[in-house]
Amino acid sequence: MHIKREELKKFRSFNGPLIDVRSPSEYYKGHMPNSINIPLFDNEERAIVGKVYKKNGRELAVRQGLVFVERKIETILNSIFEYIENYKFSIHQNKLENSHIRVYCARGGMRSLSIGWLLEKFKYNIILLRGGYKNYRRWIIESFSNKYNLIVIGGKTGSGKTKLLKLLEKNEYQTVDLEGLASHRGSTFGGLGMKEQPTNEHFENMIAEKLISFKKDEPIFLEAESANIGKCKVPHELFNQMKSSKRIEIIRSESNRIDELISTYSIFKQNELEESILRIKKRLGPQRTKIAVKSIRERKWDVVCKTVLEYYDKCYEYEKIGKENIKNIDLTDLKYDKSILGLINNIL
């Protein structure tokens, strides 16, 4: 285990292109951030090779794999060369001096070894990940047991938690935007205007990479969330740390919160907003649901927001994590600009 951790540390210490040669389905499930998928086998080919391995053993599986690769080796190599050239251009250098092309597969076996061997023939510096993605995932999961200096930003719906988080990030504070990584805002309206959510596995990868890149002793700000953000689940160990961490509670007036919600959600299509309301109609109740839907159709955004806030405020008080060690910060009528950072620093 220790050897594999050292191998991963070494692999991560190098700069340069990062290539995942697993199948597209493996890559979609989860991958190392900033890697590109140039698969040796497509999903169907991988399944066939796997069946041959189980039925006839390694030798025949390797032969079958070679048959697949032989048909498309030129395409694979051209994809790699194009990626390398684009990488050079993106970092404004003509040569990959003092860097390596990093390649990994599922377990550090035949797929990465094969691509590594080929690229060495073209005089590239290659480094392969021993233990492959499996080794990486083990490290990711273990990383959530580390202790971090978390500061949780709380506040009722519409209080501008995400806006404050982005302000902190812009001014070089350490931040983790869980909703941004999950591509979801956490409410019934959370998926509006967002790209497809990542798998839970890849969500964990992105969070861990962020946390590991930070200085542990300095504060790390993140937004108060429930355990689930859309279909993504906050890692259990991290969520437990959030519960016991320092918490900054944003206080804003109802009118401020309504203005925030109107600016965020009034841009979306009527049918999308109605569908969002109908998803929580059992919890809203028939009367509030009717009022909210009617107000959407009449574009009475303040009425829509007030109706929904009644529901979400009750949920917030019930679900609020980190109920101890809370420090309030009143940002009523204040602009979310650099001038409020002093208020944040004063209560840390």
Please give the structure tokens belonging to residue 12: 């991560």
179: nearest Cα among 240, 224, 216 = 224
Domains of the chain: 2-142 (3.40.250.10), 146-347 (3.40.50)
Hunting for tokens 């550090």 — which residue is that?
Answer: 108
3-state secondary structure at position 294: helix
What's the pLDDT at 15? 84
Q: Which helix (H) or strand (E) holds 121?
A: none
Please give the structure tokens belonging to residue 37: 């998928």
- Asked whether the beta carbons of 300 and 221 are under 8 A apart, the reply is no
- Asked whether the beta carbons of 322 and 244 are under 8 A apart, the reply is yes
161: nearest Cα among 150, 175, 172 = 175
246: nearest Cα among 152, 156, 155 = 152
pLDDT in tens, 293-310: 999 999 999 999 998 888
Of the residues 105, 232, 305, 315, only one is catalytic, namely 105
Query: How far, in whole angstroms, is CA 246 from its chain's centroid?
Result: 23
What's the pLDDT at 326? 85
- What value, to the nearest 5°, has the Cα angle with vertex 8 and ends 24 and 39? 15
Tell me which amino acid residue 56 is.
N
Residue 232 among the catalytic residues: no
Burial class (CB in 10 A: 0-12, 13-18, 19+), 103: buried
* Mean pLDDT of successive 10-residue stretches along the chain, which has 348 residues: 76 91 97 96 92 88 86 92 85 60 93 92 92 95 94 92 95 96 87 91 98 92 92 95 92 94 91 91 89 93 90 71 77 93 86
Hunting for tokens 């969500």 — which residue is that?
Answer: 203
3-state secondary structure at position 339: helix
pTM above 0.85, yes or no: yes
Tell me the C-alpha distance between 13 and 309, whole Å: 48
- What value, to the nearest 5°, has the Cα angle with vertex 114 and ends 111 and 119? 125
Tell me the C-alpha distance between 302 and 144, whole Å: 41
Q: What is the DSSP letter of 94?
A: S
Please give the structure tokens belonging to residue 5: 């951790």
219: nearest Cα among 252, 248, 184 = 248
Tell me the C-alpha distance between 162 and 153, whole Å: 9
Q: Where are the alpha helices (DSSP H) in the chain?
A: 2-13, 24-29, 43-56, 58-90, 110-120, 132-143, 161-170, 178-182, 200-213, 236-244, 254-265, 270-278, 281-284, 286-297, 301-319, 341-347
Tell me the C-alpha distance between 17 and 20, whole Å: 10
Phi, psi angles (nearest 5°) of residue 136: -60, -45
Please give the structure tokens belonging to residue 157: 């719906």
Distances (CA, A) of 282 to 49, 192, 277, 285, 320: 49, 21, 10, 5, 21
Tell me the C-alpha distance between 130 and 104, whole Å: 8
